[in-house]
Structure formats: C-alpha cells, structure tokens
Amino acid sequence: MDDPSVYDANLVRRARVAHGTGDLRTAQNLAAELWLRYEKQARAISRKRARGNEAEEVLGHLQLRFIKWVYFRQDEPRNMIGLLNQMALYAYGDVQRHEASQPVTVEEIEDYRQPHTDSTMSTILDRAEIDQLMSVLSDRERLIIERELADVPDSEVAAELEIEPNNLHQIRWRALKRMREAADQQEWGS
Amino acid sequence: MDERDIQLGNLLAETLRAFDEGRSADVDRLLDSAGDDRLELVEMVELSLTLHGPASPSSEAIEALAMTPAFDARSWPEILTEARHAQGIKRPALVTALAERLGISSPAGEERVRERYHEIETGQLDPRRISTSVVDALGDVLGGMRDLLAATRLNPVGPLSPSVSFKRDGFDDLDGNVMMEAMMASPSEPTADERRVDELFGV
C-alpha cells in the first residue's frame, strides 16, 4: 500500500491543479476524499479544544479551514495530523469570534507557516516511525497493539493471551502511554 | 493506579468503539466521564486513530460530501451573481429586502446598504469582514443560502477584472454622472443608520 503521506500529497496537488483549471467538481471530490481520510482524527482533535456541542462547532470550522487550505494555499502538503492540530487552534478561535459576532481575520486564516509543535502526533508520519515507537514495547504489548491495528476484536485477543478484557485494556492503555512518551522524547530530541 | 489504568483502558476501548460507530454524543459522555484525565484520554484516542492510519472512504461517501456547501470553491461574487440571476432578482430589489431584514429603514441607510452590497458582489469588500447577521440576512433574501454563504465566506475573491469592478448592472436608476457627482460631493457626517450599516459590513 502507498505511503499515506505520499497519497495525501498527491490528492492535494491534484485538487489544486483541478481548482486552478476550473474543474471544480474534481477539486471538490479530491478535497472531500482527503477530509474523509482524516475525519475521525479531526473529531478527536476538535475534542482536545472543546467539549460537546462546542467541539462540533470547532470541527465545522476546522473542516472549512482544511478545505480552504487544500484549494487556496500554495505550501507543500505535510503531516495531516500535525496540520489538523494547528488548524484546530484557529478553529477554536473562530468559534469564539462567531459567538461574539466578530469576523475572522485574514491573518488568522492564512497563517499556517509555523509548524505545530505541541502534538506528539506531529512526529508520526509513516509506518517506519510507528515501528520505531513500538520498539519500546514488550512482546505482549506489541502483540496487543498489532492486533488492534489489524482490527482483531478485543475478545479474540484476550482469548489468545488468556487474559480478561479488562486486563487487555489496561495493558493497551499503558502501551499507548509508553509510545506517546517515546514520541515526545523523539520530538524533543529532534 | 492499577485500578485507574483499568478504568481508563476500558474508557478508551469504549470511546474508540463509539467513534467507529459515529456516536458523537456517547463519545462526549465517555470522554467527560474520565474527569481530570479527559485530555489524556482524548490524546490516547488520537494516538490510537493515528496509528490506525487514514480511512479509505467509498466513492459514494466522497461524492456525497463533495456536494455539501463547505466544499464549494466559488467566490462570493460568483455565488451572489449566479444566485441573483438564477432567481431573476435585480439588485435594487435585493438591497431593499436586505436593508429591511437588517432593520435599516432610512433612505441614507438603504443607500449605504446598496453601496456595500455592490462592493461585495464586485469583489471589492472582503466577505470575511462582514457580520454573521448580514450573512444570514443575505442567505434568507436569496432563498435558503445561509449555509452556503457561511461556508464560502473564507474563499478568496481573487483579483478583480475591470469589467466586473465597475459594472453596475441591475441599478437602472443610476448612470455614471450621478455616481461621479456623488463621489465628488463633500463628505458629510454619516447618519446613525449609515454607521450601523458600515459596522455590519465590517467597514
């Protein structure tokens, strides 16, 4: 399977070419595909900024910013998770300004030049980096994460390891924490 | 500590399931139930989703989403002009209806609405600056276009062509001389309605 970042970059480039040549239908389809690839992650990211209905509003503004970025920006596509995290900061500001009936400002729409730095996820770009993070795990932890990535039901994994589902969830939680700590260290070390 | 990790591990599993099934209300309830650990739980959800990698949406889902207002790439001048022409609305009639919805009743105020609307439709006034009440009123006047206008107001208006900038079709009661005289006239103190209109349009 293609590297996701290469696939994403290709989608963005094709969308911009289509938009530039007036083929708006194609541009819309390509932008929609890119959004749907990361919609779940965007939902989670919006919930880092707000709760409940307000999180849904942040998500709406995040989607708008993401689409405008695809159509109208010139910068090269990069890690979509990092980009979404950065945009979510501005999207939260959009919600606050909307509630105060204030217009958005040009600068806040167009300023995505600074790389996002406060998200662990910004460092995870491809499978090789995931494998590197998984090297900090024990054999059992790694097996649990690998089974999860393969969408194996928890009941089957628990049976395979002869443990209770509660125990499985606990081990997975700790494994993810260790991976996040490892990613943080990589980020600080880079 | 062990007990808390079990609770959070169970919450993570439940939250991911709710995410998969598109149950947003359950996602929010589960996240909130983590109390002080809510943010950590959200970050674990994000990490888990990131490890899974991007989704592979169906072509049906892509095409359905692509047709929603958020993905419309047209600028406001294009959208407004097309909508007005499609519905056979002349600009004077639109301006009168818009002023009414904005609560602007004086002739001077309505004239200011006309000027500002002209600037929007010809790309001289950035729609990002105007208030949400104008977006809503305009959407209503043009018939159910609130969502489309709200979703596209961030689209750049682009460089203006000379043929667009100064074309005033739809204002049959005006000619170039009248406009020139108005522009040359000495400025007077704006009325309350004029100030209100400028504020609504972000000028």
Q: Are A6 and A79 in contact (CB under 8 A)?
A: no
Out of B14, B37, B58, a domain closes at B58
Residue B65 lies inside a defined structural domain of this protein: no
B146 and B122 co-located in one domain: yes
Work out the minimum CA distance from A104 to partner chain B, whole angstroms. Answer: 6
3-state per-residue secondary structure call for B171-203: CCCCCHHHHHHHHHCCCCCCCHHHHHHHHHCCC
Residue A126 DSSP label: S
Amino acid at A6: V
B100 and B32 co-located in one domain: no
Of A4, A60, A166, the CB nearest to B6: A166
Residue B10 lies inside a defined structural domain of this protein: yes
B103 and B185 co-located in one domain: yes
B78 and B126 co-located in one domain: yes
Gap between the Cα atoms of A94 and A101, Å rounded: 10
Summarised one tens digit per residue, pLDDT across range A136-157 is 999 999 999 999 989 899 999 9
Interface touch B62/A29, C-beta < 8 Å: yes
Summarised one tens digit per residue, pLDDT across range A80-117 is 888 899 899 989 988 887 777 666 654 455 555 544 44
A-B interface: how many C-beta pairs under 8 angstroms? 154
B41 and B130 co-located in one domain: no
Q: How far apart are the first and last CA of chain A?
A: 28
Out of B58, B79, B102, a domain closes at B58
Which domains, ranges and CATH numbers included, belong to chain A?
Answer: 4-117 (no CATH), 127-189 (1.10.10.10)
Gap between the Cα atoms of B196 and B202, Å rounded: 10
B32 and B75 co-located in one domain: no
Q: What does the radius of gyration of chain B's CA atoms come to, in whole angstroms?
A: 25
Q: What does the radius of gyration of chain A's CA atoms come to, in whole angstroms?
A: 19
B96 and B155 co-located in one domain: yes
Gap between the Cα atoms of B119 and B26, Å rounded: 46
Say whether the ipTM exceeds 0.90.
no
B134 and B186 co-located in one domain: yes
Q: What string of DSSP letters covers A24-58?
A: HHHHHHHHHHHHHHTHHHHHHHHHHH--HHHHHHH
| A104 contact residues in B (CB cutoff 8 A) | 128, 154
- Calculate the alpha carbon distances from B10 to A157, A165, B2 in Å: 15, 9, 12
**Given this model, what pLDDT does residue A21 score?**
93
Of A8, A55, A60, the CB nearest to B28: A55
- The model carries a pTM of 0.81
Residue B11 lies inside a defined structural domain of this protein: yes
Total Cβ atoms within 10 A of residue B190: 14
% of chain A at pLDDT higher than 90: 54
Positive or negative, the CA dihedral A174, A176, A181, A186 is positive
Interface touch A179/B65, C-beta < 8 Å: no
B53 and B84 co-located in one domain: no
Question: Which regions in chain B score pLDDT beneath 50?
Answer: 160-175
**Given this model, what pLDDT does residue A57 score?**
92
Q: Which domain holds residue B48?
A: 2-58
Q: Which of residues 5-64 of A touch B (CB under 8 A)?
A: 7-8, 19, 24-25, 27-29, 31-33, 35-41, 43-45, 47-48, 51-52, 55-56, 60, 63-64
Work out the minimum CA distance from A36 to partner chain B, whole angstroms. Answer: 6
B44 and B138 co-located in one domain: no
B76 and B26 co-located in one domain: no
* Residues written for chain B: 203
Residue B44 lies inside a defined structural domain of this protein: yes
Summarised one tens digit per residue, pLDDT across range A117-127 is 455 555 555 66
Total Cβ atoms within 10 A of residue B7: 18
Gap between the Cα atoms of B181 and A113, Å rounded: 46
Residue partners of A155: CB distance under 8 A and separation at least 6 = A165
Helices in B53-191 by DSSP H: which ranges?
A: 59-66, 76-87, 91-101, 107-121, 132-141, 146-152, 162-165, 176-184
Residue B105 lies inside a defined structural domain of this protein: yes
**CB burial class (10 A; 0-12, 13-18, 19+) of residue B117?**
buried
Closest CA to B54 of A37, A79, A128, A150: A37
**Given this model, what pLDDT does residue A17 score?**
95
Gap between the Cα atoms of B129 and B149, Å rounded: 13
Q: Which of residues 69-128 of A touch B (CB under 8 A)?
A: 71-72, 80-81, 98, 101, 103-106, 109, 120-121, 124
Interface touch A101/B12, C-beta < 8 Å: no
**Given this model, what pLDDT does residue A79 score?**
82
Residue B66 lies inside a defined structural domain of this protein: no
**How many domains does chain B divide into?**
2
B48 and B77 co-located in one domain: no
